[in-house]
Structure 1
Amino acid sequence: MGEENPRQAPNTPESSTTESSIKQTTEIISSLIFLSHSVKVFPVKWQVIRNKLEELNTGLAAIENCDSSLNQSFSRLIVAILVTVNECYDLARRCVDLSYSGKLLMQSDLDVMSTKFDRHLKNLSGIYTAGFLTQGFAIVVSKPGVGACKDDMRFYVSDLLTRMKIGDTEMKRQALVNLHEVMVEDDRYVKTVVEISDIVNLLVNFLDSINVGIQEEAAKVVTLISGFDMFKGVLIGAGIIGPLIRVLESGSVLGKEASVRGLQNLTENSDNAWSVSSHGGVTALLKICSSGDSRGELVAPACGVLRNLIGVEEIKRFMIEGGAISTFTKLATSRDEAVQITSIGFLHNIASGDEPMKQIVIREGGIRALVRVLDPKTSFSPKTREIALRVIEDLCFSSISSMKILLNYGFMEHLLFFLRKGDVSVQELALKVAFRLNGTSEEVKKAMGDAGFMQVFVSFLEAKSFEVREMAAEALSSMVLVPTNRKKFGQDDRNIGFLLQLLAQEGNSGNKKLLLSILTSLTSCNIARRKIANSGYLKNIEKLAEEVSDAKRLVRKLSTNRFRSILSGLWHS
């Protein structure tokens, strides 16, 4: 408990040379750090002192081999540090032995000691950056080349760590810049950084720096590390969430952007959701998203973080109470593509599989915003429109009331436009959506027939893709089951002729069943039936009926209807 320190400095440290004093000082500091772990009282204050001792020891160790004998300022600093360390050693022994006279007095003594170490660190940093010590120690280590070995990488990173610990503000910032640079160039450095645990802890502390440059660069490095799944746990264990959110609340624009990207990476699964929420992250993120003057580079990842947190029901409800639906509905029509995509994704995730939530999204204008994205008069990207189409399909097609609202906003007209003139990717998706829309109700089928969808489906019957041809034929087969659609379809001479021509073509056997189904349905319409019977393809159909049962059914329908027509003529003669 109360053993003497075997490495304690002599009573007259002035008599030691500078070189031996550095080594002696680092040994005493190491011994004091070890002893401090035995102290059970005032743990917070001792932890603060221990952190400063470790930082001081690193700084001294880094310049132990310097040619500093001609630097009187450095010699005087070593003497002062030795005196302070000996004083601290005495306090540590008294705390271990509980032999101090009073708690308040000891607390005051520890505060004074902490202040003295702060002053020593500041003085060491000043001497270091003044350049007096560079001759004997390679402060500026060259960046290893491409494919460098692990030892060279570690040596370079350790040098950067030293600069970050004892350098002045600009040196620390530049060390962070260099660290980020090599990590971007070669991701092996990320593992090296994480293995040197001091760096991660230092980065976390830098996020609370009052210097904007240091805070920004630290956030960039942390965000880079957070992109690797295997290292996320290290950052979380170092307490990264709170500092990142503090940057998000009061940091610079660049700091916020880096911070929110880091949070997005760290919340890709819901394990860290509660940590973000408990530090006020949800409120801060909603504030960013609702602020009209925030840049897309900030809003888009902020949307992404909130989207990641939806999986926790309590947080989801808190977002809704905070006006998230209204906020993201507005963002769905943002001019920034990334913001649009993430906000539409948020609305999709929060309402998917939750009927009451779908109704909230609809009431807040969610469907109107999504339909607006599809308006051909707007300049939204094909990618955004594809996402909007998918979300509309998922949110609206299962509810009659939602379908009515959707159609009232002009969705059908926009869908028809993209079927006719859309980019290939949007056109194919529009066909799939139209195919499903066609299956929702008889009323919708009739509306689609009135709008002109049947003619578009006919045009897809010649598509190169078998899937597209089959989908178009199946949709058309379903639509002509509606009497008004059959009549409208049969009134266009080109429709019947085109179907009969496709049926006669070789190599179209894959769609023959559907084509026959369409033609069979059309026989219930007098106009269409007559056109089929009077066409030059009747013999082809009769020949096909010898082998195909569906063709037999079509011939039978045509024959029956012709016999009925003859009887009807005789009856009225």
Structure 2
Amino acid sequence: MVEEKADLAGTNAGSLRLRQATDQISSLIFLSHSTKVFSSKWKLIRSKLDEILSILASLPPELQASADNNPTLSGIMRSIEETTDCSTSLAQKCIEHSYTGKLLMQSDLDIIFVKFENNVKSLSEFINSEGLLSNGNYAIVVSRPAPAASRDDIQFYVKDLLCRFKIGRIEMKKQALASFNEVIQEDERYVKIAMEIEGLVHILMKFLNSKDIEIQEEALKSVATICGFDSYKTVLVGTGIISPLIRVLESGSDLGKELSTRCLMKVTANSDNAWSVSAHGGASALLKICGSGCDDAAGGELVGLACGVLKNLIGVEEIKRFVVDEGAIPMSIKLVKSKNESSQISAIEFIQVLASANEFMRGMIVNEGGIRVLVRVIDPKSSYSSKPREKSMKALITLCSDSIGYINSLKNHNFIDHILYFLQNGEVSIQESALRAAFWLCGVSDEFKKAMGDAGFMPEMVKFLDAKSFEAREMASETLLRLVVVPRNQKRFVQNDQNVNFLLQLIDGGDGNSERKY
């Protein structure tokens, strides 16, 4: 009975000591936020204090209870308590500006940081020696909070995961990263709270450089999710995330490269980051991937993503010149002819962006056979799906708009016939793209108006006057107006009584629609 009471007293003493140390550290963290000087050094110190708190919280109850009886843990706790006491005194001096000199205080804070860093290492070594973060009973200590959990519960859970990032063995790190990815993808509150914890981004960057492929891939999933938030994207870039992303792009696994390009796609949506990507060799790495021309599903997806990032980068004139000098135009035209739809679409969009730049770029694209390749995409006999065809119509309009010579070459490649075919037979989305192309063509010249009238465009425009889409009705109305300006088309139009009767019915509708004006 006496022995049981003694054990109970020891247990209570151990738990009490741990609570007191935790309270002491929490008080120091709170106090340090009031310091107005040496803020960067106190920020580093707080990051170590957070790590210590997270590690102590992850200790199983029986080990917490033995904090006084275990010589190793007791020694570490004593060191933490002494350093915390000293730090509290320094924090008070910083608040009151009562220190003797800046250099001396900077030196003292550096010493404190090193001591706390050593405490973290000692705790990590102790936990690993006890086997607590292997695949044993304490693989998961903190359960995932319920959907309606409080902010404090979420923060405690995330800090526990970050603790495992830092001190867990390799399998524990993977498990913790997978759990982290699961919660940040399902609930954006976890992203916000995680990004408020100092050191998270640095840990993820360290994982991106890991030799373990699974660790690297899980870290990339985390970064890809965080990149989806504009405010955090800036933090990631400012911390230096682009360099490790480029390294993965150059030498990572296939999945790693795909995830890296997805991150870079989000990051380069802001053209201010384009220079940073290019400066780290990103443009060259992306061109190399695009040049591989993979047609299989996985490789084609990567090529399409890489081409999409390049499209973002060429918003900067100097980068545009570089990628063009490196063969981006023939490369993109080759990709249009690939068998993978993702690559096709990204390449067509890339060509359109280049074509919108200037006359010189448009000339280079045409000289490389750009018109012929893009028209082939919309040839009904080709095997392309609707999406690349829609993109190709838009790219051709951009490419040829400023040159009657380029527009005439469209006629030679049966562009008019292809547009008419999709007006008559296409799905709704491609019909609308074809309608825009027809609207554009009939504004080129009377010769094109005559050719379109001879081909049979006017009856199709009449049909679209009754379309559900307001935009389609309006474009069809104005296209028809442009076509019937030509006398030959007027005669052809009135030869069909149904055309005139249908127009009269629309006018008599009296609903004030804009197409009635036309």
TM-score scaled by length of structure 1? 0.67
Equivalent position of 2:249 in the other structure: 248
Equivalent position of 2:238 in the other structure: 237
Equivalent position of 2:211 in the other structure: 210
User: For 2:302, which of 278, 284, 298 is the aligned residue?
Assistant: 298
Equivalent position of 2:197 in the other structure: 196
Q: Do structure 1's residue 270 and structure 2's residue 274 form an aligned pair?
A: no
Equivalent position of 1:414 in the other structure: 418
Give 1:195 shift.
0.6
In 1: Cα distance, 2:128 partner to 2:516 partner: 88
User: For 2:325, which of 321, 327, 330 is the aligned residue?
Assistant: 321
Q: Which SS does the other structure have where 2:384 is aligned? A: coil
Equivalent position of 1:158 in the other structure: 159
Q: Do structure 1's residue 376 and structure 2's residue 380 form an aligned pair?
A: yes
Equivalent position of 1:125 in the other structure: 128
Equivalent position of 2:4 in the other structure: none
Does the 8 Å contact 2:293/2:335 carry over to 1? no
Equivalent position of 2:111 in the other structure: none
Give 1:211 shift.
1.0
Residue type of the partner of 1:127?
A: E
Residue type of the partner of 2:181?
A: H
In 1: Cα distance, 2:307 partner to 2:118 partner: 43
Equivalent position of 1:357 in the other structure: 361
Equivalent position of 2:498 in the other structure: 498
Give 1:132 shift.
11
Gap change, CA 1:254 and 1:408, over 3 Å in 2: same
Counterparts of residues 171-570 of structure 1 (less than 5 Å): 171-293=172-294, 295-460=299-464, 468=472, 471-472=475-476, 474-482=478-486, 485=489, 489=492, 495-502=495-502, 505=505, 507-508=507-508
**Bigger RCO of structures 1 and 2 (CA < 8 A, at least 6 apart):** 2
Ranges in structure 2 where 5+ consecutive residues have no aligned partner: 1-12, 33-43, 83-102, 105-116
Equivalent position of 2:97 in the other structure: none
Q: Which SS does the other structure have where 1:197 is aligned? A: coil
Give 1:429 shift.
2.8
In 2: Cα distance, 1:204 partner to 1:120 partner: 23
Q: Which SS does the other structure have where 1:439 is aligned? A: coil
Q: Which SS does the other structure have where 2:498 is aligned? A: helix
Does the 8 Å contact 1:209/1:215 carry over to 2? yes
In 1: Cα distance, 2:199 partner to 2:360 partner: 49
Q: Which SS does the other structure have where 2:269 is aligned? A: coil
Does the 8 Å contact 1:23/1:64 carry over to 2? no
Does the 8 Å contact 2:416/2:452 carry over to 1? yes
In 2: Cα distance, 1:52 partner to 1:511 partner: 68
Give 1:186 shift.
1.0
TM-score scaled by length of structure 2? 0.74
In 1: Cα distance, 2:136 partner to 2:462 partner: 83
Residue type of the partner of 2:149?
A: A
Gap change, CA 1:132 and 1:450, over 3 Å in 2: closer
In 1: Cα distance, 2:471 partner to 2:72 partner: 84
Does the 8 Å contact 1:245/1:259 carry over to 2? yes
Gap change, CA 1:56 and 1:81, over 3 Å in 2: farther
Gap change, CA 1:120 and 1:189, over 3 Å in 2: closer
Counterparts of residues 57-136 of structure 1 (less than 5 Å): 57=52, 61-62=56-57, 67-68=62-63, 75=71, 124-129=127-132
Give 1:408 shift.
2.1
Gap change, CA 1:425 and 1:78, over 3 Å in 2: same
Q: Which SS does the other structure have where 2:209 is aligned? A: coil
Gap change, CA 1:486 and 1:252, over 3 Å in 2: same
Q: Which SS does the other structure have where 1:295 is aligned? A: helix
Give 1:317 shift.
0.9
Q: Which moved more, 1:150-159 or 1:262-271?
A: 262-271
In terms of Rg, which structure is larger? 1
Give 1:370 shift.
2.0
In 2: Cα distance, 1:183 partner to 1:282 partner: 30
Gap change, CA 1:449 and 1:314, over 3 Å in 2: same
Aligned-residue sequence identity (percent) comes to 47
In 1: Cα distance, 2:146 partner to 2:307 partner: 39
Residue type of the partner of 2:498?
A: F
In 2: Cα distance, 1:443 partner to 1:187 partner: 58
Gap change, CA 1:128 and 1:309, over 3 Å in 2: same
In 2: Cα distance, 1:21 partner to 1:467 partner: 73
Gap change, CA 1:233 and 1:431, over 3 Å in 2: closer
Query: 1:468-502, CA deviations, whole angstroms, 9 ceiling, x for partnerless residues?
Result: 56644544454455465566x27xxx834234434
Give 1:62 shift.
4.6
Does the 8 Å contact 1:374/1:414 carry over to 2? yes
In 2: Cα distance, 1:185 partner to 1:318 partner: 40
Give 1:506 shift.
7.2
